[in-house]
Structure formats: C-alpha cells, structure tokens
Chains A and B, each alone.
Chain A
Amino acid sequence: MMTLKDSGATKTMNMIEAINSAMDVMLERDDKVVVMGEDVGFFGGVFRATAGLQKKHGKTRVFDTPINECGIIGVAVGMGAYGLRPVPEIQFADYIYPGLDQLVSEAARLRYRSANDFICPMTVRTPFGGGIFGGQTHSQSPESIMTHICGVKTVIPSNPRDAKGLLIAAIEDNDPVVFLEPKRIYNGPFSGYYDRPVEPWSKHEASAVPEGYYRVELGKAATVREGEAVTVLAYGTMVHVAKTIIEESGIDAEILDLRTLLPLDIEAIEASVKKTGRCLIIHEATRTSGFGAELAALVQERCFYHLEAPVERVTGFDTPYPHSLEWAYFPGPVRIATALEKIMKD
C-alpha cells in the first residue's frame, strides 16, 4: 500500500479538485469504477467535482442520470452486483431521502442478507451542510441518519488532502460508503465568521495534495491540534470553525477531526478525553438524536471517571435550516465560545 510519503509530486488543490482527482485516479486504475449522477457528465457537476472526467474516461464510465435518487442508488446496487464499483453522486445530501430505501434496505444489507453472495461496493458522494444560503433543502446534515443504518460506513473529510485519500479508500472499500462532502469548505476552510473574507485552500497546508494514488484509511481520526485542557470532537466544516474559536480563546484544547463517523475511531477519542478530562462535541446538524448524542454517550460510558465536567454539545437547532437566518442557526463562534467557557468553568 502506498502512503503519503511515496505518492509522488503534490499539487495545490481545493476540496473539489482533490475529490475530482480521487475519482480521476480511480477511474484510471480500475475499469470497474463508474461515476454517475445528476449533471455529473458533460457539465461536470453543479459543484464541478466531476469536471473533465467524462471527456477523459468516456461516457460509459462517467455519465448523467435522470433526476431520480431511488433510481441512482438502486441502479448502483445492481451495478455492484454485476461486479462494478459505482460512485454515484447525490447532488445535495438533502436529496438522498428518495433513495434512502435503496440505501438502508438494499445496499446496506445485501452482504448480510445474502451471506456474501452479493456485495455492494458503492460510494455515494454527496455535498452536505449549510452556510451557503441554501435554505432548508440545500443545507442539511443527515450524517446521523447514515450512521444509524447498519451496514453503511459514513465518511466526512475536512480538507483536500484527506478528501482525496479518504475518497480513494472509500471507493476501494467493499462495503457501501456514504461520503459526505462539507460544501461550505469546498473552496476554502471556514473560520465561522461569515462576515470575514474567505481564505482560499492554497493558504492551508492540507491543500498540498499528492497527484497520484494514496489512501487515508477509513476509521481513523486525525489530531488537528494537540492540547491538555479539553477535547473537541468535530468533523467537516466544524473542524475549522472549532480551530478558529479555540485559537481565539487561548484554551489549550485538543481538536480531533473524526473523519470517519462509522466505524468510529473510539481509541483516539478515549485517549484524548482521558487525557483532558473534558469533552466538547460540535456538529452543524440538528441537536436531538444527532451524532453528538452518540458521541456523548460513548464518552460517558468509557471516560466517566476521568471527566471533570459534563460533556457539552454545540449543534444546530432543531429547526429546518432557515434561509435568511442561517447564521443564527449555524453553531458559530458565540455558541462555541459560550460552551467552551462553561465546560472550562466546571
């Protein structure tokens, strides 16, 4: 297996370019890989994630589909049964619901129900999350719906280098993977301050992306910042928001970027919380039954006697994602700073 070190030259890429590069590499390496979805072919995707891939790899490898998510995922299950390795795109995670039965009852359980007669090596890519004035149908974060399905892996990258390596690992995985792309940070990391200019990825060290093949293994968290005072668990966009607020606060926090929600890197979480004695969980999704609830439960089950304060959750509110008031919904600097203050006081 190739690692980052020996994967050759790097190039500065944003998230979109890195994701594009992952698919390009895999289309080149494995003729069983197919990429499909609404507007992904000639046009190259509404976020440009598949730009140039059809031209390079041909129409039978990269193609447009009808606006029918049940069909997109259902067809991908059949392609997987044939022996292909489909990489369907759902244009927005908010649109995954019409295809959910094919994901929950079919893709996720095919290996189990057929005792390995048939498998579903599918990677569903889909942009998620808000902060782009997408309103309630272009902003949702459905990751906890995905992690609640048994038989599906859920991956969320937070930077270009991880995005490419994780996507390659997801495509090579022999089980279905939902690959949630935080669209707010496609073009640059997000500080949490919507009124400040966007910083491009090129200023971030994780934009140096190897041009060739490499994997970032699924199920491994990354330590974004080492610290002793509190463990912050985050993923996707919120990794960057957390980092900004932590730096502003001067608190010596340890930030874990979970990267894969299922299977979860419980060892990394446990080690960090046992070290710091405090745990703050941040996600953009609605609060009730969100993935933060799972994390909080796991932390108290495993680290209770090391905790010096109650586990805190900073999340979106339990409302649909509002359009004009999206920054009041978003778990931004004030909400995070308030929670940090509280957890450090206890």
Chain B
Amino acid sequence: MPETPPPAASNLPSLSLHIPEPRYRPGDTPDFGDIVVPAVEATPRPGEASKPDAMRELCYGLVRVLDFDGEAKGPWNPNLAPDRLRQMLRHMMLTRAFDDRMFRAQRQGKTSFYMKCTGEEATSVASTMAIDRADMVFPSYRQQGILITRDYPLIQMMNQIYSNRGDHLLGRQLPIMYSAPEHGFFSVSGNLATQYPQAVGWAMASASKGDSRIATVWCGEGSSAEGDFHSALTFATVYNAPVIFNVVNNQWAISSFSGFAGGERTTFAARAVGYGIAGLRVDGNDPLAVYAATQWAADRARTNNGPTLIEHFTYRAEGHSTSDDPSAYRAAQEASAWPLGDPIARLKQHLEMLGEWDDERHEALRKELEELVKTSQKQSEKLGILGHGMHQPFETMFEDVFEEMPWHLKEQCAQMLAEQEKKFGPDWKPE
C-alpha cells in the first residue's frame, strides 16, 4: 500500500469522526427536560386511508391519549370501556409479575437466562389487544406481553424457560424464545430483526390468498439498523403488504444507546418516510396511545391501505437480560427520571380517575397475579428445571433437523448414544 501522503496545506479544519456518546453515564444525574412531549391534543389523527406523505409530521410528533393527570383525551382516545381497561391493566401487571418471578428463578440457578420487559409492558399488551386474535405476530425477544395477553398458559412459558420435560420446544431454544402457533405467535429467533422480512412475507401471502388476517412484527431501535429491517420495509412498500412494523425504542441496545442506531439524527418512525409508508411515533408508556395507534394501523392494513411503522418511544427500565449489568454503562436514575412515567402506574391512575379502580383493588389484583404466577411456577418446576436431571431423550437432539432423518444424522445419533452409554455405564438407557 502506498504511504499516506502528507495533508495538503489548507485553511479548512481537518475532518473529525463523530462517535455517538450518551449524555449520561454512571454517576451522572440524568435530566430529560429536553425531550419534547407535545400536549395530548396536539397530535392530529388522520384517516386510516391517508397518504403517507400527507401525515409525515406524525413521524416526528408523539401520539398520546393519557395526560399526566390520568385523563384520556384528544383525537386518538380509543374510548375503551372500563372492563377493557381493567383487562389491559391485568395483562400488564401479570407480565410484570411473571418477569419478576422468572428473573428471580434465573438468579436462583433454575435456568440460564431471562429477559424482563419492565417499563415496556404497554407496547406488547396494548398492541395485541388492538389487533384480532387471528392476526399473526412476529415477535422479537421482549414481547412476552403478547403471549400473556393472548392467554397462553404461563406454565408453558415457564416450561420453555426451564427447558424441562414440558417444554414443547424440547429444550432446543434459549429461555424466552417461545413459539406458539395456536396463539398466532411466531417462533422467536434470537437473531435480530430477521423476523421483519418474514412478517412481510406472511402478510404478502395473506394478501395474495385474499385472507383478512394481517401481520405485526417487532424489533428494537437498536436492531432497526439491521439490513433485514430495511429489506422488510422495501418489500412492504413495494407490495403494500398488510403489516404493522413495531420498533420499541427503549433507548438502549444492551450498552449502546439509540445514537448507535441513528437516533441522534432523527426519529425511528421517520424511517417510514423514505419508504413512503405511514409512520407513527407513539408514547410507548401510554397504553391507550399504543392501543389507538395499533388499531389505526390495523384498520389501515386490513383495508388494503398498506403498512405502518410504529415507533414506541419508551425506556428499558431494567437490564438487557440477566447477563447484563446496566449500572456499568448508564446513569442509575434514568428510569425514574424518564418523563413518560410507568405504563402500569399511568393506566391505574386513569382507571382511578374514572372511579373504576382504587388502591385496594389494585393491591388485591397484584397479590392474585403473584399467586397465579407462583402456582404456575410450582407446577412447572415439577416437570424439571434446567441443569437438574435430563429432561429430553438424547435422540431428540437429532430430530427435526429435517422432516425425515438422513443417514448421516442417524449415524451421528448412534454415535452420541454410544458415548452416553460409555459415560453412564451398560445399564444406562436413554430417557
């Protein structure tokens, strides 16, 4: 390689490389005063068939319904009945109770890994309530609220987390990588944003068959940087696919703040603009806003008016996973300083303002859900926990690589069984 030539004499400043840096690090006192939170009434609600270029400002605004006093108002108010609101609260609270319990189970050594969605419960719960039960969801890894909202048995989630005898995925997947086709919940990959084009393909198939079902798909702001995200948006706009893209902007991708996905320059909803699809930026801690935005996008998709990208502006209140220690890279008070509050507290406040809820009922519900989780956990643990005993017959390791096992896998399976016999003695039999 030739040597770098010396810089030419010039009066221009030299180039400098920008490396994004979050504003607050451990020890700092975060101040989110500069985050613009427009008034609830300020964000207009266009018709579901509006042209994307006529509603671009929604990519830069913030869809809101609940004000900070707990009142629901403005053009996006979905006007849900109190029973429905209580249902929503219950799903969010159950999600949180489940998370707390499973996080603890991991700390107790009962499984290898867990991921909480604390502070983000509104995004998956309210979104799921706003679509049809038959619609297909392509989740990322922090959407346990979807399964809970669709009444997927907690014990089955736990069985998967423990990789135990009841795990219908046969212990093959990392904890929380659920799969639940009967509940319209696609298999969680673990690779990031790969589900994005897949959801578009599902939606294209649905449209091509004259079906009425739509697809929704999830990723974080961090993984919106993946090529798959952009592939998906391209295909969706080209074929006008009936799909809702959800980007949960929880500010942090493990230790990388949203600036490393381009968040310093524009919003994530604004990614929609370049593709000519509808974009909505939503207060992700306002369950009614999430519900309203999703309902709008679902109606739009179902009437052949095309895809929508929804950015859920929220905050990841806890670590990325049980393997993460956020105190090493971000200011401890960020979650409490977050200007959009906590989704459960906000819905509770709203229900109280309506005279439909109170502290006593809230506490009773909290205890009831905690008990429910505890009972399910006990049942699940009867089927085993990770690392204590063998829960799956060894040969299941070789099954389902293909529909029918080819000779080379049969040979390898026999080899593995022989290894186990050698290890455990002649009386050993596979479970």
Residue numbers of A with Cβ under 8 A of B are 34, 60-61, 65-66, 68, 70-71, 73-84, 86, 98, 101-102, 105-106, 110-119, 150-151, 153, 173-175, 219, 262-264, 266
Contact = CB atoms under 8 A, between A and B. Distances in A.
Given A81-B136, A117-B187, A174-B403, 6 more contacts: A73-B197, A78-B204, A79-B205, A98-B227, A113-B187, A263-B407
A70 B197 contact: yes
A76 B235 CA distance: 11
Interface residues of B, number: 44
Contact of A74 (B169, B170, B206, B228): B228
Contacts of B203: 78
A45 to B, nearest CB: 19
A65 B198 contact: no
Contacts of B406: 219, 262-263
B313 interface: no
Contact of A114 (B179, B215, B238, B408): B179
Nearest to B241: A75
A74 B194 contact: yes
29 contacts: A65-B235, A66-B235, A68-B231, A70-B227, A70-B231, A71-B197, A74-B201, A74-B231, A75-B197, A75-B200, A75-B235, A78-B215, A80-B201, A84-B208, A101-B228, A105-B191, A106-B198, A111-B401, A112-B401, A113-B169, A115-B168, A117-B179, A117-B180, A117-B181, A150-B401, A174-B403, A263-B406, A263-B408, A266-B408
A71 B191 contact: no
Interface string B157-190: 0000000000011101100010111000011010
Contacts of B270: none
A115 B201 CA distance: 21
Contacts of B400: 111-112, 115-116
A78 B403 contact: no
B207 to A, nearest CB: 8
A76 B201 contact: yes
Given A60-B208, A113-B187, A81 B202 contact: yes
A91 B381 CA distance: 51
A34 B239 CA distance: 15
Nearest to B171: A115
Given A101-B194, A151-B401, A113 B172 contact: yes
B122 interface: no
A129 B232 CA distance: 30
Interface string B39-80: 000000000000000000000000000000000000000000
A114 B403 contact: no
Given A113-B172, A115-B168, A175-B402, A75 B227 contact: no
B302 to A, nearest CB: 16
Interface of B: 136, 138, 168-170, 172-173, 177, 179-181, 186-187, 189, 191, 194, 196-206, 208-209, 215, 227-228, 231-232, 234-235, 238, 400-403, 406-408
Given A76-B201, A115-B170, A34 B208 contact: yes
Contacts of A115: 168-170, 172, 179, 400
A78 B137 CA distance: 11
A263 B177 CA distance: 29
Contacts of A81: 136, 186, 198, 201-202
A113 B173 contact: yes
A106 B190 CA distance: 10
Contacts of B168: 115, 117
A173 B136 CA distance: 25
A113 B201 CA distance: 19
Q: Which of B173, B180, B232, B402 has the most CB of A within 10 A?
A: B402
A78 B200 contact: yes
Contacts of B181: 114, 117-118
B301 to A, nearest CB: 15
Contacts of B189: 105-106, 113
Nearest to A218: B406
Contact of A79 (B186, B202, B402): B202
The 8 closest A-B pairs by CB, nearest first: A78-B201, A74-B197, A75-B201, A71-B231, A263-B406, A78-B198, A82-B205, A114-B187
A61 B209 CA distance: 10
Contacts of A66: 231, 234-235, 238
Contacts of B138: 78
Nearest to A68: B231
Nearest to B217: A78
B139 to A, nearest CB: 13
B169 A114 contact: yes
Given A78-B199, A113-B169, A174-B403, A71 B232 contact: yes
A230 to B, nearest CB: 25
A84 B238 contact: no
A295 to B, nearest CB: 13
Nearest to A86: B201
A254 to B, nearest CB: 21
A61 B208 CA distance: 8
B402 A84 contact: no
A74 B173 contact: no
Contact of B234 (A71, A83, A174, A263): A71
Contacts of B205: 34, 78-79, 82-84
Contacts of A34: 205, 208
Contacts of A82: 136, 201-202, 205-206, 209
A44 to B, nearest CB: 19
B231 A110 contact: no
B231 A118 contact: no
Contacts of A175: 402-403
A119 B400 CA distance: 10
Contacts of B187: 110, 113-114, 117-118
Contacts of B228: 70-71, 74, 101-102
Contact of B408 (A61, A84, A264): A264
Nearest to A260: B406
A266 B407 CA distance: 9
B238 to A, nearest CB: 6
B242 to A, nearest CB: 12
**Interface-centre pick from A34, A84, A98 (highest chain B CB count, 10 A):** A84
Contacts of B238: 65-66
